[in-house]
Structure 1
Amino acid sequence: MRLIFTSLVSHGHLYPLLPLAVAARDAGHDVLFATGDDMRPVVEKAGLASESAGFGMREAFAAFFGPDASPPRASNGAPEEFYPVIGQVFGNVLPRRFLADLTPLLERHRPDLVVYESGNAGGAIAARLAGVPAIGHGFGRVSPGEVIDVINGRLAEFATEVGFEGAALHSYGDPVVDICPESVQSPDFLAGANRIPLRPVGWAEPGDLPPGVVGRDKSRPLIYLTLGTAFGDEDVLKRAIGGLARIDADVIVAAGPTVDPAQLGNVPANVRVEAWVPQAELLPHVDLVVHHGGSGTTLGAFGAGLPQLVLPQGADQFTNAEAVVAAGVGAQLIGGAIVEDAIHEQARTLLADEGVLGAARKLGDEVAAMPSPAEVAQRLPEFAG
């Protein structure tokens, strides 16, 4: 069976699809992954064929803010100020470009099934207009809210323009591979989705764990701090490092591509700063995750059965943080509350809270019971029609 996978051009949207794409290839299917040039090297390191489709977030936002644009973040102003721009980018600019690029690709390759990442409306629309069976693939918890409503308004206008009716972000009338455990998924999504559960399997490029992680003294907690690949903030990281370093624990910091580790200055002896770590391999060794609330890190911590302190910076991170708190597996600090003392107190409390630790382990068991990528790959032919 010929399959085309397609995702938006970012780690957070691409990585969740790779386990199923690799499992489909291993099951004997002919798999092609269509995404932007910036992410194609990641796809090819996974051993998958790739073709260029779409462009990245920076190029999309540059249409409104100029060539030095970055995705809006909480620290740059009230989130609702950016809703019109976010709506236009995700509801028009990105789907328009992906539709233009995927239409000839579908004609050339004539796949039996398209697997599109749920945030990539252009993938869903291109498949429908080409008459190719398709299924969605989620990248995390579905986050309803005002910004999604704004995106859907713009998307409905674009979809009508190109002859596609009924488009809405995360819901295009197709079955959806859902990597979020049911107990923390959006009830509204669960009520209306044709859901294909899939265990969230962390994906990371091969790499060595920082020295001292394997074989460490487990009587001393290990805390992992990251703000992800898109919303890294030097000041927030400095405050978090200051608060966490005061705990009798070791701290590993992944600065990510948006923060130069050198800009964090001299750090305490119990803190180690890395530009990047293989997160999926690190999490089983960790006792607490302090992070931005990105879907990959949130789900990774769910699967590892870990408590979380979430410091949301933008996008769906705020609703992910709310879901962490509602599930009883962590806490959140927002905006002006993200200060060193509060981070210290919340992290210290989470490391010792048996109720939170028990809830986190229970959620980890739920994730472990979800179908594996290999099991879901065996089902893909039934969706090809």
Structure 2
Amino acid sequence: MRIVFTSLASYGHLYPLLPLARAARAAGHDVVYATAPEFHPAVEKAGLEPVAAGMTLPEAFGEAFAGDTRERHEVPREELARGIGRAFGRVMPARFMTDLAPVIADRKPDLLVYEMGNPGGAFAAHVAGIPSMAHGFGRVSAGDLMVPIREQFTVLAEEAGLTGNSAVFWDHPFVDICPESVQAPEFVAGARRVPLRPVGWSDGGELPAGVADRGRPLIYLTLGSTGHAQAHLLAEAVRGLAALDADVLVATGPAVDVAALGEVPGNVRLESWVPQAELLPHVDLVVHHGGSGTTLGAFGAGAPQLVLPQGADQYTNADAVVAAGVGAQLVGEAMTAEAVRESARRLLADSAVADAVRRLAAEVAGMPSPEEVAAGLGAYVG
């Protein structure tokens, strides 16, 4: 069977699809992965064949806000939402439709698997008359930000002749890596879910020394790899966590100048990057921004979470963490060093949180593996 996988060009959208794509290839299927050339090295490291399609997020935002010289904080909220809606709901899907057409004509796939942020894949498959299925990267957000995005790509879908409910991805099968207990209930009720265990993905690498051999709790702090990871937020969180009798490992990411964090106490270690998938099973508490990859990774690893959301779907992820009883959140001005310290102290000691974390980890462990799902992909062709 020939399969085209496609996702938006960002690691947060790319990585969740790699385990299933690799499993499909291992099962003997002819697999290619379509995304922007900048991300082809990551695809190749995963042992997959990349093909060019789409554009990067900065390119899409540049087109959506063409001619606007204002800084992001200077754009009124409603206008910003409309621009984001254009970028995700019109600019990128239209580009992917155009770029995927020759890929489909050349490869003649039996199935196209599109990441849920990339409905252009669904539109291209529909125009070409081939089956498609969606693939999630986390909880399906119903937040306010999705309204202008869905409005835009619903129009584009209708232009491509694809009608139906976009909120459940036009009734396409949906590979869902989010445990049902924390998935949006309205989505679970209406979607054709194909559960898949979330399998963390990273490019590989060694764990920092001492991670697996220590005598006190290990707290992992990350604010992701985007511009949200601002030095002052990390510094405030570090100040709070350093006061605990624990080791603190900080993944600063490429957006932060480590020097801007200044001197840190001896129980704090700064790393620009860590192999997160390999690290999480060793962690006693994850303090993070609420990105889907980190949220789901902590679910599977059985680690409580303190979420410090900064934007996008991070707020709904934080709400889901709290609702599941597996962590806490600090938003806006509530995020102070003292609040981080006390929240972390409570989460490390709270037996009710520990019980909830174990239950959720067991739920994740019981979800079908990538190999099991890959073995059944033929059922969605026809």
8 Å CA contact 2:168–2:191 kept in 1: the answer is no
Residues of 1 paired with 2:315 and 2:68: CA distance? 25
Q: Percent identity?
A: 59
Name 2:219's counterpart in structure 1. Answer: 223
1:78: how far off? Answer: 8.1
Contact 1:138 1:177 in 2 (8 A): yes
Partner of 2:148: 150
Shift of 1:66: 5.8
Question: Is the alpha carbon distance of 1:76 and 1:12 closer, same or farther for their aligned partners in structure 2, counting shifts above 3 Å?
Answer: farther
Q: Over aligned residues, Cα RMSD in angstroms?
A: 1.9
Query: What do residues 160-195 of structure 1 show as CA deviations (whole Å, max 9, x unaligned)?
Result: 333332362551221000000000000111011111
Task: Please name the residue that 2:231 is paired with.
Answer: 234
| Residue 2 of structure 2 corresponds to residue 2 of structure 1 | yes
Query: Is the CA contact (8 Å cut-off) linking 1:44 and 1:50 kept in structure 2?
Result: yes
Aligned with 1:274 (options 271, 276, 283): 271
* 2: CA distance, partners of 1:259 / 1:238: 11
Identify the residue that residue 99 of structure 2 maps to in structure 1: 101
1:120 aligns with 2:80: no
Distance in 2 (alpha carbons) for counterparts of 1:172 and 1:356: 37
Name 1:53's counterpart in structure 2. Answer: 53
Aligned partner (choices 287, 307, 320) of residue 304 of structure 2: 307
Superposition pairs for residues 1-385 of structure 1, below 5 Å?
1-65=1-65, 82-166=80-164, 168=166, 171-217=169-215, 220-230=216-226, 231-385=228-382
Unaligned runs of 5+ in 1: none
Q: Distance in 2 between matches of 1:280 and 1:374?
A: 18
SS in 2 for 1:146: coil
Question: Which secondary structure state, in structure 1, belongs to the residue aligned with residue 170 of structure 2?
Answer: coil
Supply the distance in 2 between the matched residues of 1:275 and 1:368 (Cα, whole angstroms). 30
Q: Distance in 2 between matches of 1:172 and 1:257?
A: 37
- In terms of mean alpha carbon deviation, does 338-347 or 281-290 score higher? 338-347
Shift of 1:332: 0.4
TM-superposition CA deviations, 1:43-97 (whole Å, max 9, x none): 100110000111111111112446999996xx88886563111111111011011
Give per-residue Cα distances to partners, 1:337-368, cap 9 Å, x unaligned: 11111111111111111101110111000000
Distance 1:9 1:291, change over 3 A: same
3-state DSSP class of the match of 2:171?
coil
TM-score by length of 2: 0.96
Q: Would you say the 8 A contact 1:307–1:356 is kept in 2?
A: yes
Distance 1:70 1:362, change over 3 A: farther
Distance 1:78 1:286 in 2: 40
Rounded to whole Å, the distance in 2 between the matches of 1:160 and 1:12 is 28
CA distance in 1, matches of 2:98, 2:120: 8
CA 1:76/1:28 → structure 2, altered by over 3 Å: closer, same or farther?
farther
Q: Which amino acid aligns with 1:353?
A: D
Runs of 5+ unmatched residues, structure 2: none
Q: Distance in 2 between matches of 1:215 and 1:292?
A: 27
Deviates more, 1:204-213 or 1:225-234: 225-234
Q: In structure 2, how many angstroms separate the alpha carbons of the residues matched to 1:127 and 1:153?
A: 20
CA distance in structure 2 between the partners assigned to 1:177 and 1:71 by the alignment? 37
Structure 2: distance between partners of 1:172 and 1:256: 36
Q: TM (normalized to structure 1)?
A: 0.95
Q: 1:248 Cα shift? A: 0.7
